[in-house]
Amino acid sequence: QSLGLAAAGRPGKTAKRPFPCHLCERSFIQRGDFLKVHMRTHTGEKPFSCSHCGRRFTRSGDLSSHMRTHTGEKPFSCQICGKSFSQSCNLLCHLRTHTGEKPFTCPTSGI
Ligand SMILES: [Zn+2]
Ligand SMILES: [Zn+2]
Ligand SMILES: [Zn+2]
């Protein structure tokens, strides 16, 4: 009987975000790139392609982090032991070897 209650009651939350996505419930403060980039999650469009291997990406940030797998650049370093990583996710996984924390398996490195 009370199942509908959870979805209701978000007063004014979208009022300051005038650019809604018409395909899902999300809305955005600026039209610009936010909505455009978000729409790609629906269209599957991947305008950024890797010049090395041709792999395609939705966001430029994804491409630049992928490029590091080719360049070998490792901008993320561990403050505890100094080991360097190409992906921030790999550093986070590595940090757990110091803390002993293991909440889930890293999808990239499998550690
Ligand atoms: Zn959407
Ligand atoms: Zn590549
Ligand atoms: Zn370390």
Question: In this structure, which ligand is nearest to the CA of 76?
Answer: 3
Each residue's pLDDT tens digit, 54-80: 999 999 999 999 999 999 999 999 999
State which H helix or E strand residue 105 sits in: none
79 and 96 housed in the same domain: yes
25 and 60 housed in the same domain: yes
Residue 61 within a domain? yes
What value, to the nearest 5°, has the Cα angle with vertex 20 and ends 2 and 57?
A: 110
Range of the domain at 59: 18-72
22 and 68 housed in the same domain: yes
DSSP H helix total and E strand total for the chain? 3, 6
Residue 7, pLDDT score? 47
Q: Are 21 and 27 in contact (CB under 8 A)?
A: yes
Q: Residue 49 Cα, ligand 1 centroid: separation in angstroms?
A: 23
Q: Residue 86 Cα, ligand 1 centroid: separation in angstroms?
A: 30
Residue 60 within a domain? yes
Q: Structurally, how many domains does the chain consist of?
A: 2
Q: Is residue 107 predicted with pLDDT exceeding 90?
A: no
